[in-house]
Amino acid sequence: MTSEVVENEFEFYSKAEKYWKDVPATVDGMLGGYGHISSIDINSSRKFLQKFLRDGPNRTGTSRALDCGAGIGRITKWLLLPLFKTVDMVDVTENFLTKAKSYLGEEGRRVRNYFCCGLQDFSPEPNSYDVIWIQWVIGHLTDNDLSDFLKRCRAGLRPNGIVVIKDNMAQEGVIMDDVDSSVCRDLDVVRKIIRRAGLHLLAEERQENFPDEIYHVYTFAMR
């Protein structure tokens, strides 16, 4: 649990904000020097997401998506804008959102809102999103704040909407990274937090073809 590794909550958040302010506003910066895995990541995410967008009585809509921890908009540009009519982006680093406006190009006109805010303080507009995509950012929230944020995401979903988490998973327990002030949780801890938020897992998948030296990455869909 993060309560065991995060000694000072205020410091945990402020140190992370400071860290990201110094990160280059590039794809390589967003991916911690692993920019070359971006297309593998996006292709896997698209296949995962399209299972829910196919025809059927409980099909997830394609009107509006929310990109959480959006950075410069890598996921918005390559995954969400090709599939959804409009996208909103939220990130704690203002410089990244400013960069996104040029990085996204012409298609960026379909980004309705750029919210500069930490997820612990952000509330998605109720009943508004078909998909809320949360990638490589849950480690920047304490367990309580993550659970509360997921509850707010649940309220933000339209009928048949889904919340997706894609993130690193530790082998066991919760590991603190002092460099970027984040935690990495194991699968059981993440599943418990999802349940605590009142969400039900619909699908879970391990990312393939990533470098061996990085954490295992899993994608979860829930509502």
Binding site annotation covers 135?
Answer: yes
Binding site annotation covers 207?
Answer: no
For 125-192, the DSSP string reads PTT-EEEEEEES-GGGS-HHHHHHHHHHHHHHEEEEEEEEEEEEEBSSSEEEETTTTEEEEBHHHHHH
Binding site annotation covers 196?
Answer: no
Binding site annotation covers 97?
Answer: no
Place of tokens 């829930």: 222
Binding site annotation covers 28?
Answer: no
Binding site annotation covers 71?
Answer: no
Beta bridge mates, 67 = 89, 133
Strands 216-222 and 157-169: antiparallel
Binding site annotation covers 69?
Answer: yes
Strands 201-206 and 216-222: antiparallel
Binding-site annotation, residues for S-adenosyl-L-methionine: 69, 74, 91-93, 119-120, 135
Which positions make up the binding site?
69, 74, 91-93, 119-120, 135
